[in-house]
Structure 1
Amino acid sequence: MVPSDFIKRFSMQPHPEGGYYSSTYQASLLIPQHSLPDSFQASRPVSSAIYYLLEQGDFSSFHRIASDECWHFYAGEPLWIHALAPDGSYTRTTLGPHQGMTFQYVVKAGTWFASEPATGSSFSFVGCTVSPGFHFDEFEMAESDWLISQFPEQASLIKRLCRGPL
């Protein structure tokens, strides 16, 4: 399959951070707002999931969310996830099927992260499972100048993988 096949088969739409997505699951069980950390503005389903596709030349812009997000590799070629943790550390994780890669990776809540097909990858088809469930109210797109002020040693990466706030 090629990217357009995935986009059509799964009725994928453009995602504000880049790439394409389609929602695949939202739990019916809700966590009441009073049981969640203050970073949540309303009750949330216990979990939600999407399919996500990135083609070479596109990227998921640096952003953060209020929940943990587990990435799953499904098809295509390797994907890099760049994470800037609250403690100032940087990690690059490669999702993919080959030696030294992983099929799953969890981005912890509050971590700034971006993703892109690895060098030489034409596209990556992955899934993202979020718990508590995702809502755009808790989605924050990074502003490059501010993020660079927090992580100056990653300035070139941030400039390359930031679209700016929504």
Structure 2
Amino acid sequence: MTLNQNHNAEYWRKHLQLESHVEGGSFRETYRAALKLPTSVLPATFKGERNASTGIYFLLEYGDFSAFHRIAADEMWHFYDGYALTIYEIKPGGELVVHQLGKQVHLGERPQLVISAGSWFASRVEVTNGYTLVGCTVAPGFDFADFELGDRAELQKAYPAHAGIIAALTR
């Protein structure tokens, strides 16, 4: 894949004004819907009212990773630039699904995909010295009150078949 040589991770971090994210990588919120959904219409997994939708830019570089975490809403991922992003999803029943977010669809990559609410997921760029710039849309909107960062020991106990990838993608 040929990349625009003027667009590297530092270019995107600077021009999109990205900041460090607690799970790894860099991000910036780009959208928060004005429409609020009251708690009465949301599942019990939400801890209060939520904006109808939110969006972010998210940048990840080789050697870093987005640690296993889960949220209370579905999260749609959109590929923008760089190399494919590998997203590891552990569904509530324990099934591990490995997604490739990218634009080379003939290689099984997808330019957008959805991680279901309640799944544990983590991601990394697996191309040496590569990076990826993606977007994430969450509906109902993201709130850190609904964010849970995975604990390595607890996840390995719950999903022993996936202990290796959990060890690699937790802090």
1:89 aligns with 2:123: no
CA distance in 2 between counterparts of 1:50 and 1:107 reads 15
Match in the other structure for 1:122? 130
CA distance in 2 between counterparts of 1:97 and 1:103 reads 5
Q: Give SS of 1:61's match.
A: strand
**Equivalent of 1:143 in 114, 139, 151:** 151
Q: Give SS of 2:46's match.
A: coil
TM-score (norm 1): 0.96
TM-score (norm 2): 0.93
Cα offsets for 1:88-142 (capped at 9, x unmatched): 1001000111121100110000000000013446000000000000000110000
Which amino acid letter does the alignment assign opposite residue 52 of structure 1? F
- Matched residue pairs, number? 163
Match in the other structure for 2:111? 103
1:2 aligns with 2:8: yes
1:40 aligns with 2:64: no
Runs of at least 4 residues off by over 3 Å: none
CA distance in 2 between counterparts of 1:131 and 1:64 reads 14
CA distance in 2 between counterparts of 1:116 and 1:23 reads 20
Match in the other structure for 2:160? 152
Which amino acid letter does the alignment assign opposite residue 95 of structure 1? L
Offset of 1:162 from its aligned partner?
Answer: 0.2
**Conserved 8 A contact 1:82-1:115:** yes
RMSD: 0.8
CA distance in 1 between counterparts of 2:88 and 2:138 reads 18
CA distance in 1 between counterparts of 2:79 and 2:88 reads 15
Q: 1:79 to 1:121 in 2, by over 3 A?
A: farther
**Conserved 8 A contact 1:77-1:121:** no
Match in the other structure for 2:63? 57
CA distance in 1 between counterparts of 2:79 and 2:131 reads 12
Q: Structure 1: state its 5+ residue gaps.
A: none
CA distance in 2 between counterparts of 1:68 and 1:106 reads 7
Q: Give SS of 2:94's match.
A: coil
**Conserved 8 A contact 2:65-2:125:** yes
**Conserved 8 A contact 2:76-2:112:** yes
Q: Structure 2: state its 5+ residue gaps.
A: 1-6
Which amino acid letter does the alignment assign opposite residue 23 of structure 2? E
**Conserved 8 A contact 2:83-2:127:** no
